[in-house]
């Protein structure tokens, strides 16, 4: 039963201004098995993820982790890199259960 619970350890989050999808990179774990993965989620799901990370990390300051980069098409690429100081492990069924998400793994 434990192996069926998906746990995601987030390493980075990326999204562009005026884009509805958010790219989350990390390591997916199913019990003792794990693999690198990319997940596409909605902005709403991103808000849930940020709220959960804030609950798990006492001194989590999202605005200090985010970087902005101008793109060629006048859009802005936002990137959040989560290092080992941040507890970025989340159970997927707790945060991504309201809307579908797309897992991309090769």
The pLDDT value recorded for residue 92 is 79
Range of the domain at 50: 2-104
Task: Report the alpha-carbon distance of residue 63 to residue 38 in Å, rounded.
Answer: 23
Residue 95: which residues within 8 A CB-CB, separation 6 or more?
45, 48, 49, 52
Lowest mean pLDDT among 1-5, 18-22, 55-59: 1-5
The pLDDT value recorded for residue 13 is 95
Long-range contacts of 80-84 (CB under 8 A, 24+ apart): 80/12, 80/13, 80/14, 81/11, 81/12, 82/10, 82/11, 82/12, 82/13, 82/53
**Structural domain tally of the chain?**
1
The pLDDT value recorded for residue 3 is 47
* Per-residue pLDDT tens over the stretch 41-52: 888 889 989 999
Average pLDDT of the chain is: 85
Higher-scoring residue by pLDDT: 87, 93: 87
């Amino acid at each position: 039963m434990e192996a069926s619970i998906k746990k995601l350890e987030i390493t980075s989050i990326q999204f562009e201004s005026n884009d509805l999808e958010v790219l989350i990179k990390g390591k997916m774990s199913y019990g003792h098995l794990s693999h690198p993965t990319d997940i596409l989620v909605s902005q709403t799901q991103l808000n849930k993820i940020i709220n959960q990370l804030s609950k798990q990390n006492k001194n989590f300051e999202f605005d200090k982790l985010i970087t902005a980069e101008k793109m060629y098409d006048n859009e802005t690429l936002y990137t959040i890199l989560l290092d080992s100081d941040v507890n970025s492990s989340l159970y997927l069924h707790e945060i991504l259960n309201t809307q579908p998400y797309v897992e991309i793994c090769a």
